[in-house]
Amino acid sequence: MVASIQQPELNPSSGYVGRFAPTPSGPLHFGSLVAALASYLDARAHQGQWLLRVEDIDAPRCAPGAADSILQTLEDYGLHWDGDVCYQSQQSSYYESALGQLQAKGLVFFCTCSRSQLKGHDIYPGTCRTRVIRDQQQDCSCRIRVPDQQLAFDDLILPSYTENLALQVGDFILQRKDGPYAYQLAVVIDDALQGITHVIRGADLYTQTTRQIFLQQSLGLTTPIYGHIPLIMNGQGQKLSKQNLAQAIATKEAPVLLSQALQRLGQAPPQELIDAPIEEQLQWAITAWDRHKIPSLQEDPTPFVTTDSP
């Protein structure tokens, strides 16, 4: 069934709706804790709602039990969300509807290029852009025609960003050959359906924002305000992620790691609150929260301290 995309009325009390949207590819690690904390504090400091979305659209990337583990860790760290958790895996009818709208506007084309045909191209060369493929066949992805013009946005934390999608990204995929809708489409639809006004997230998504803004504009959806927080690097200068074996964070270390996460965000708690119970630290942090103190580039020479050895 195809569902229509309707943006909810904004909560009149503050009008701020934020979110945290983890991919359940493994347990929550320190880097994602910092991202979760930043979006939580920014929402709460503005009397806003803070929603949770599990980005489980790409089934092969999801680890069994990881979603539940992430939710439990957030609870253990005192980061309580509002409303029901949204699962991308249950939203397909909305993505289908959005794709249909873009198709009706003539913005979508089918692409039969194989991986080997695209080898060596950083930007899609436009091979199928003008070919007439009327019906989506097997072995065919959906791409969107991007405009040859500058698209810019202001960021709450990082500098403004400008990009020409045609020259720097190319016609990007909305639905993959093997069926799943692409992240870019899903995130735009979910942000609209959840009425998100502020997206505070990791800087790994900073340069993808223009693609999302283009999709919002093409679908007549409101563009949220974006703020990207610097990524937490490990000692080797790599982003902490499951791929480079960032460790899961333990509940018993919550007060220590919460203090460290606040320090990474430039919101170091006063001496007497370091390692205090999480509720006390969070209460202080909501009051003291200041986006301008978030360092715009962050590299830590030492991995975070943990009492568990790997």
> Among residues 128 and 203, whose Cβ is nearest to Zn ion?
128
Closest approach of Zn ion to the CB of residue 218, in Å: 20
Q: Judged by CB, which is closer to Zn ion: 97, or 127?
A: 127
Cβ-based nearer residue to Zn ion, 111 or 254: 111
Minimum Å gap between C-beta 212 and Zn ion is 22
Minimum distance, C-beta of residue 127 to Zn ion, in the bound complex (Å) = 4
Cα 165 to chain center, whole Å?
19
Angle between helices 278-288 and 254-264 (to 10 degrees): 20
At position 165, the amino acid (one-letter code) is L
CB nearer to Zn ion: pick between 101 and 127:
127
- Nearest approach in angstroms of CB 309 to Zn ion is 49
Q: Which is nearer to Zn ion, 66 or 108 (CB)?
A: 108
What is the nearest approach in angstroms of Zn ion to the Cβ of residue 61?
Answer: 24
Q: Is 273 helix (H, G, I), strand (E, B) or coil?
A: helix
Helix axes 183-193, 209-219, angle to 10 degrees: 60
Q: Is 84 helix (H, G, I), strand (E, B) or coil?
A: coil
| CA-closest candidate to residue 63, choices 304, 248, 310 | 248
Per-residue burial over 265-282, b = 16 or more CB atoms within 10 Å of its CB, e = otherwise? bbbebeeebbbbebeebb
Local structure of residue 251 (DSSP, 8 states)? G
For the bound state, the minimum distance from the C-beta of residue 213 to Zn ion, rounded and expressed in Å, comes to 24
Residues interacting with Zn ion, by CB under 5 A? 111, 113, 127-128
Q: Is 120 left (phi over 0), alpha (psi -120 to 50) or beta?
A: left
Nearer to Zn ion, 75 or 139 (CB): 139
